[in-house]
Structures are given as C-alpha cells and as structure tokens.
Amino acid sequence: MTKTSTRLFDRKILGDAIRASFWKLDPRVQLRNPVMFAVYLGSILTTILWLNSLSGSTGESSTFVLGVAMWLWFTVLFANFAEAIAEGHGKAQAASLKKSRTTVIARKIANKADRITEEVSATDLKIGDIVIVKAGETIPADGEVIEGVASVDESAITGESAPVVRESGGDRSSVTGGTRVISDWLIIQVRTLPGQSFLDRMIAMVEGAKRQKTPNEIALAILLAALTLIFLLVVATLLPFSIFSVEVSGQGRAISLTVLVALFVCLAPTTIGALLSAIGIAGMNRLSQANVIAMSGRAVEAAGDVDVLLLDKTGTITLGNRQATRFIPASGTTEKELAEAAHLASLADETAEGRSIAVLAKKQFGLRGRELEHIQPHFVPFSARTRMSGVTLDGHSIRKGAAEAVETHVRSLGGFLPEDVRVAVQEIAKSGGTPLVVSRDDKVLGVIELKDIVKGGIKERFAELRQMGIKTVMITGDNPLTAAAIAAEAGVDDFLAEATPEAKLSLIRDYQKGGRLVAMTGDGTNDAPALAQADVAVAMNSGTQAAKEAGNMVDLDSNPTKLIEIVNIGKQLLMTRGSLTTFSIANDVAKYFAILPAAFAATYPALKALDLMRLSSPSSAILSAVIFNALIIIALVPLALKGVAYRPVGAAQLLRNNLLIYGVGGLIVPFMGIKAIDVMLTLMRIA
C-alpha cells in the first residue's frame, strides 16, 4: 500500500485551523463542550469587566483585567485550534478521495435476454439495476458481480497499484464505485443508492462529519462537566464569604470577579476538556491512515478494550498459499525423477503453489528452467473443470493435480494409481496438507506435499497480545488434529476447528456472555452473522457486500492481520485520553497552590503560607497561572494528535507508568512553568 502522509502541522492545515479557531467561537459550537463553554463565558465576562475597569471606578488595574481576559480568549482559541487541526487532517485525506470521484456514464442493461444497453448517468442508477462494465471503463456504483471475471484497478480507493480479480459467485464478488475494470468485462447488480456508496461513506467518515462520541468518551465528558459544575459552585460561594469576612474584620478587601473567573478557569479541567475532541478525531484519523475505515466511533473505542481476537488461519496466521515441502516418489521412481517432472509441469504455473514447487526442486536437486524455445512445449493451464495443469513436451504428457483428476487421466491412457501413492495421498490429507499427484503419460510418478506455512514473526506478535491481556483464537475449517498442530506452531491460545457460521456465532456469544469484548475479521457471506455479533468487526474490502455491511470497520488493504494494528490504535487512543486526563487533574492540584493563596492574600493573609512558589505579587500569580493554563493546551496538541506511545505491557505497569510520567509530571510542570512566567512578567513589569 502506497500512502501519502500529511505532516502534523502542514502549512495549509495550519492556515485553515487558525481560521476555524475563530469560526468556532460561535456559541452554538462552543456549547458542545461544557468545559470550554464555561471558559468562553468567563472570557466574555472578563472582557466586560475590563471595559468597566477603564473608568477607574472599580479599583482594579485595567491592565491586569485585560491580561486575564486576553489569555482566557487565547485558551478558548487554542482549544478550537486543537480540534480544527485534528479535523484538518481528516479533511485532507477526504480531499484525496474526492478527487477519485468523476462523472460516470453507466451502460444499464435494459433487456437481459439480448443484453440491450442504454447509457444513463451513474447518479440515476437504482438498487437492483444491472450494468455492464468493460475494460477501460469505470464501475459506476457499488454492487455485486453476477456474471464475468475481470481484473479491477482499485488504486483510487486503496492506493494499491496491483490490480485485483473480481468474479461472480465467490467471496470476491463485491465491487466499489469509482474503481476501473482493466481487463475483460463484468455484469454488476447495483446495491447502493447515489450518495450512499462506500466511497461517499469513506469521505464522510474521514471528514468526521458523522463521528459519534463513544460511551467511554461520553462518560469522561460527563465527569468533566460535573467537575466544572462543582468548581463553578465552589467559586461562586467564595465571593459572599470574602465580602462577609471583610465586613466582619473591617480590614482587607473582597475578592474581585476577575480573580474568581481566573480561579475557576485554572481549577476546572480545561486541559483535557480542550483536547478531548481532538484526541477522538485523531484516533479516527490514525485508523484511516492505516487504510481502515471505521463506520462508528464506538468501534474505535471498543478496539482499545478488546480482550479476545478471533483470527482466520489462512492468510492471517499462515501465508495463505500452501507451499511445497517434500516430494514422495512412487515405487520404482526416484525422488529426483519426480522432482524433474513436477518442475516441468510447474514452469508455466504462476501461482504461489506452482512457484514453490520450482523453488523446492531447485533447492533439493539444483533443477533450473530449461531452454524450451526449440522444443515448442504445449502448456496446459489449470482449470476448475479438469483440476490439473501441466505440459506436453518431447512427446510426453506431464500432468500434476488432484489425486482423483490425475487418476482419471492416467486410467484413460491405460494406467492406474499405485497403492503406495494412494496411501501417501490419504496421509497428507489427514494431516491437513494438500497432495498433488504427478504423472508422465500413463505412469504415476508420485506425490507433492503442500502445507500451510506459519508466517514469520506471528508467534512473537501473539506473545505481545498475551502480554496485553488479549486472548487469541484461531478459526479454521481444518480437522481438529491439523488445527491443533498449526495452533501450537503459531502460539495462539485456543482454536476453533471445522468452523461453521453457526459455530463462529456461538463462540462469540459465549465470550460476550462472560463479559469479554470480541474482535474478528471476515470477508465472506458466511462470516456476516459473526461479524454482526462481534464488538469490533473488520470486513475485508475485497469481500462480499454482506460482510462489509455486517462489519463496523472495513480494511481497504484486505489484510486480515490488520486487526492487530487496529487493536493497538484503539489502545493508543484510550491511553492518550487517560494520560492527558491524569496530567490535567495533576495540573489543577499544582495551580491550586499558585492561585488560591494569591487570590485570598488580601482577605485572608494567613493563606500566604501556602504560597510555595513565592510568586512576586497576587496579580502576577493569577495572570501567570492563566497564561500557563492557555500555553499548556497548545503544547499538548502534538501529543493529542500523534497519541501516547503504546507498548504491550500489563495493566498494572501501564497504570504505574501513567501516574509516574503524567501524574508526577503534571504536578511538577505547572510549578516550573508558572514560576518562569511570573519571573518574566515581573521583569517586564506587566503585573
């Protein structure tokens, strides 16, 4: 997959984000985030207080009030900026997808009997319409291939330059509007309405237009809103207390509204409140950068909490294409003689299995390709009807294929299938391998054993998942004996053999009844029920329409191992949110020691003992805390967008690391930052 990544702070995205920061000052937009809406109201109030202080009747420095008002506005703008930057990355990806949309004329089949076609606009197609698309033409709408087989260029959607085969009647019958047929032809039945195609949904998702908050995010938003309300009530009651204290003691002065607003903004969880939306959008963007389209934010959230992974064996745990592992000669035939015949029969075989036979023959006997131009061989390609392939060379007919097919072939020539070959075929089949029988004329030479090869490094990946507390389950149609052998070699925790759609669905439900969150991948119609039941369901883009509609994510690369990457992205999103929440709350504790003693120094002189930072003056302390509160948001924007680095370790260690780095760091950084700002303000004689 060839991707073009957008820089974190691309110049165009920066410019658009700055403009959006001001546009988002609309009260209707601000109201979506209760924490920042409270800061927004505080900014308006302090601006009014500044205008009032210009008359000099309030007894409060207009410079101080202006400073507080300006930095509160900056706090709101920086929060808008963080969200706009995250949205900008999504829109940049969506823009590249929009370029692939062109006006397409569809050739609709009006009469199925004689295939009379009429040209219509793709936007006029309806569900159920049948169209024909030939080489060089663009597929007008999402649909299912009902006839034909062709190579399709899907680079407009996936970025992958290699064409893929689409054909009727299998798990690769789904086609996407906007892709292009590059060979042969396809007859397609339309499955979506204009504006509801897969490409349209992709664009909407990466733009974030339909992004819904996840339950975890909603719970955190409620917590932040509750904390904001509590601090608001606490701060509101401080004013009458200070007025009462001044009246009773007859000394000092009551706390001002400006200081109260500053105190509220600094104590409220503004840091995480400002970055919460950006974190969620950035998580969606990271998925789309991995070429995965999430159909809901809930799926992204669930990916971080998954503790059971169901993985197909073929293509995920194994290489997907079986490899030749040994030659088993028939009685009276040498292994080299069998290898030579198998090698000749595979010269024109471009499949992975055919190439693996040539590699094994070269490795064991040093066999290489022969110069065949002068001999003029006749190659016989594999077909589903004959289930054989081979070559006619030097007057000899060499064939390789399924045992039954080769037996029928040699019997037609007067030969037979030797008993030792029949036994070898049965043993290979029982062990889960694939036997290919090789013959020359009427003589059977022996058997080639093809086996599933476990992917390199997959065992280590499963060990990492085990460290994360995730159980891996291999799903396969193999018999239990073969499944157990491959499961042991791959290092998975469990397996489901001879899997049927009902068995997959039952397994997922059993795990969910036990309180587990389940993720799985699938591409076929038979996977659809299980995908619909799974908490995180990743459908392959190359799969059927039923699978894509049942899943809540679609992998454009059709790579089943992408599920592991999706889980990592989900966990990174949760970790980023948790880390910044810890940092924000720790910040509030530190800012308490900066602003509270300064705010009440005139009313309660004894509180001066809590001024641990020894700030130069009450006004400098308050303004320093407000400035730090604004700057820390913008400083954390890159972390919110890129995410906290995730390592597969246990939950206890993750918690310790989180508290040590972001908890202790959140306590120390404000002390250093506020003190530094206080020194600068004192030197500049601003406060």
Q: 424-437: string of b/e by CB count within 10 Å (b at 16+)?
A: bbeebeeebbbbbb
How many CB atoms neighbour CB 320 within 10 A?
Answer: 15
On whether the CB atoms of residues 547 and 528 are closer than 8 A, the answer is yes
Query: Do residues 164 and 542 lie in contact, with contact meaning Cβ atoms separated by under 8 Å?
Result: yes
Residue 142 in marked binding region: no
Structure tokens at 435: 């036997």
Whether 494 is catalytic is no
DSSP per-residue letters across 273-321: HHHHHHHHHHHHHHHHHTTEEES-HHHHHHHHH--EEEEEIIIIIB-SS
Q: SS3 for 491?
A: coil
400 is in an annotated binding site: yes
Is 388 within any annotated ligand binding site? yes
> Any binding-site annotation on 411?
no
Q: Judging by DSSP bridges, how do beta strands 174-175 and 143-147 pair with one another?
A: antiparallel
384 is in an annotated binding site: yes
Going by DSSP bridges, is the β-strand pair 378-380/388-393 parallel, antiparallel, or unpaired?
antiparallel
Bridge partner residues of 454 (DSSP):
318
Rounded to the nearest 10 degrees, how much is the dihedral formed by the CA atoms of 370, 375, 376, 379?
A: -50
Alpha-carbon distance values, 677 to 65, 247, 594 (Å): 17, 34, 12
* 349 marked as part of a ligand binding site: yes
Token digits for 311?
């993985």
Instruction: Give CA–CA dist 127/533, Å, rounded.
Output: 26
Alpha carbon of residue 301 to chain centroid: 11
365 is in an annotated binding site: no
Say which DSSP state 183 is in: S
Whether 523 has a binding-site annotation, put simply, is: yes
Question: Cα dist. 411→48, 169, 199, 441, 457 in Å?
Answer: 100, 33, 54, 10, 45
241 annotated ligand binder: no
Catalytic pick among 142, 153, 171, 312: 312
CA separation, residue 382 to residues 370, 399, 409, 633 (Å)? 21, 10, 14, 63
In DSSP terms, which residues pair with 132 in a beta bridge? 187
Block residue for tokens 């780095």: 661
| Helices 270-289 and 618-642: angle between axes, nearest 10 degrees | 20
Q: Is 525 annotated as a binding residue?
A: no
Residue 546 in marked binding region: no
> Which residues are tagged catalytic?
312
Binding site for ATP: which residues? Answer: 349, 353, 382-389, 400
Q: Which residues are annotated as a binding site?
A: 349, 353, 382-389, 400, 523, 527
Instruction: Mark the binding-site residues for Mg(2+), compressed into ranges.
Output: 523, 527
